[in-house]
Amino acid sequence: MFRSKIRIHTCRIILLTSLVWLLVDVALLAMYSDCFGDGCNKKTSSEYVDRSIGEYGGKKAAIAAAIQHQINDDDTNLEENEVQQEVGDDGLVLAPYSKSRLARWVPVPPVRPKSEAPGEMGKAVNIPIEQEKLMLDKFQENQFNLLASDMISLNRSLTDVRFEKSTLLRIIHITNNFSEGWLEPLLARIVEDRTTVVCPIIDVISDTTFEYIQASDMTWGGFNWKLNFRWYRVPEREMSRRGGDRTAPLRTPTMAGGLFAIDRDYFYKIGSYDEGMDIWGGENLEMSFRVWMCGGRLEIAPCSHVGHVFRKTTPYTFPGGTGRVVNHNNARLAEVWLDDWKHFYYNINPGALNVPVGDVSERKALRERLKCKSFRWYLENIYPESQMPLDYYYLGEIRNAETSNCLDTLGGKAGQPLGMGYCHGMGGNQVFAYTKRKQVMSDDNCLDAAHPRGPIKLIRCHGMRGNQEWTYDSKVI
């Protein structure tokens, strides 16, 4: 009898203790939860995001609008539906993110400068004279100033180069500075459309002094006949599309390739990387063409800046040489994506004809399966300013029939005169295109006659006719 009373009291104590802890848990949840009570389901993303942004001065970020746009839609996009896809006439389409995958955006406080520390506020690092030999010796290891890199704080401060109009957080990420938060302006665009691939503006970190140099926001990615990635000035038509707002996302024909954000599912569904490519080179253009031609979009987010150390030479060796590897990779992308415009690449770079391309049947099947558009469509709609002309009459050499000499760029750059050389039939410096715009092009340069009796020079093609307009008369020539 006595033992049963003890057991009853013990059970009561255990139940009472459990009830107390349950009430404590409920109270804590009510205190710290963003969503509690009957009003939970009525809250929208803007309530979450605006409150967190208000704590940092009331500035709204692009990700706020992006999340609000997603969650204000009818809540039928469950997490298991996120992988749903369809391939329509415009390429691959992915379902939007579900609410459970989206997180509240909290801005990261700026890094405060550390007084007198090397490299603070992006300034150059000056190496003492007595350490210059050590600096040069260590430079050879990775082709940048390791001594300066070691002297800089892991999370050094940088100047704020945001536009005055911008309400977006401008975060900078350096090679040796893994500050949190620099991805938000990129991710905001992906939240709105999972088939968007977004790049930051790539600022320059000096390989010798580690000075942080702001890059221009008025350039976008392009390419030349050799399929080298190049930066070109943003055309007026793109500025007009953005309404003159330099903080708005910039639609770029190609990307540099080393720095971009992409949805993981989209990355694999659209074909990830071409596994037939080797080491480095060409993968950025291949992905750029694939994204645009298969229904995606490629952008640069001006409110996200990433600093990158641009080395003058690579510290690595490539089996067979850098040229062989790059030619192999570029030839693969030319065979799969350039259609008839692949001849521009092979004519100006005949060495690529002797490099084995490998089996590209799987990549061609991918293009067909995704219902990707033609390269002509790309030139017409995405990159009409391309150095590869949309329409042309002739691609080949310009020969003097009597002397068997051909016009030759002599390997010159823009601003230099041309010459004549024995016709070797190998293309390269002796290949030109006569376009329907009446231009005579060699890569991204055009024949320019600034003076009636002066020398003809190679000048960057401007598309405004004038000195670069050439009329072909079959009766005279």
Rounded-to-integer distance, Cα 294 and Cα 368, Å: 10
Task: With cut-offs at 50, 70 and 90, classify the pLDDT of residue 164.
Answer: low
pLDDT score for 219: 93
The mean pLDDT value for 175-182 works out to 45
The mean pLDDT value for 41-49 works out to 35
Taking alpha carbons only, the member of 201, 208, 112 closest to residue 153 is: 112
The mean pLDDT value for 76-93 works out to 56
| Tens of pLDDT, residues 374-396 | 999 999 999 999 999 999 999 99
Strand bridging mode 432-435 / 440-442: antiparallel
| Tens of pLDDT, residues 433-459 | 999 999 999 998 999 988 777 788 898
Supply 241's token pair: 């599309």
Rounded-to-integer distance, Cα 250 and Cα 239, Å: 8
Task: With cut-offs at 50, 70 and 90, classify the pLDDT of residue 260.
Answer: very high
With beta carbons less than 8 A apart as the criterion, state whether 398 and 377 touch. Answer: no
Question: Which residues does 196 contact at the CB level (< 8 Å), separation at least 6?
Answer: 189, 190, 296, 297, 298, 299
CATH match for 120-381 among 3.90.550.10, 3.90.850.10, 3.40.50.280, 3.40.190.10 = 3.90.550.10
Terminal-to-terminal C-alpha distance of the chain: 124
pLDDT score for 339: 97
Question: Given a cut of 80, is residue 171 above it in pLDDT?
Answer: no
Question: Given a cut of 80, is residue 166 above it in pLDDT?
Answer: no
Question: Given a cut of 70, is residue 419 above it in pLDDT?
Answer: yes
pLDDT score for 360: 97
Task: Output 410 or 136, whichever has higher pLDDT.
Answer: 410
Question: Given a cut of 50, is residue 72 above it in pLDDT?
Answer: no
pLDDT score for 26: 56
Supply 21's token pair: 């802890």
pLDDT score for 444: 87
pLDDT score for 432: 94
CATH match for 392-468 among 3.40.47.10, 2.80.10.50, 3.90.550.10, 1.10.10.10 = 2.80.10.50
- 18-27, 137-146, 206-215, 415-424: segment of lowest average pLDDT: 18-27
The mean pLDDT value for 106-135 works out to 75
Task: Output 53 or 471, whichever has higher pLDDT.
Answer: 471
**Long-range CB contacts (< 8 A, 24+ apart) of 415-421?**
415/457, 415/458, 415/459, 416/457, 416/458, 417/455, 417/456, 417/457, 417/458, 418/447, 418/455, 418/456, 418/457, 418/458
With beta carbons less than 8 A apart as the criterion, state whether 269 and 262 touch. Answer: no
Task: Output 103 or 273, whichever has higher pLDDT.
Answer: 273
Question: Given a cut of 90, is residue 332 above it in pLDDT?
Answer: yes
**Average pLDDT, rounded, for the chain:** 78
> Whole-model pTM above 0.85?
no
| Tens of pLDDT, residues 187-206 | 999 999 999 999 999 888 88
pLDDT score for 304: 87
Question: Given a cut of 60, is residue 89 above it in pLDDT?
Answer: yes
The mean pLDDT value for 362-367 works out to 97
| Tens of pLDDT, residues 280-290 | 889 999 999 99
Taking alpha carbons only, the member of 98, 101, 156, 99 closest to residue 125 is: 156
Per-domain residue ranges for the chain?
120-381, 392-468
The mean pLDDT value for 173-177 works out to 39
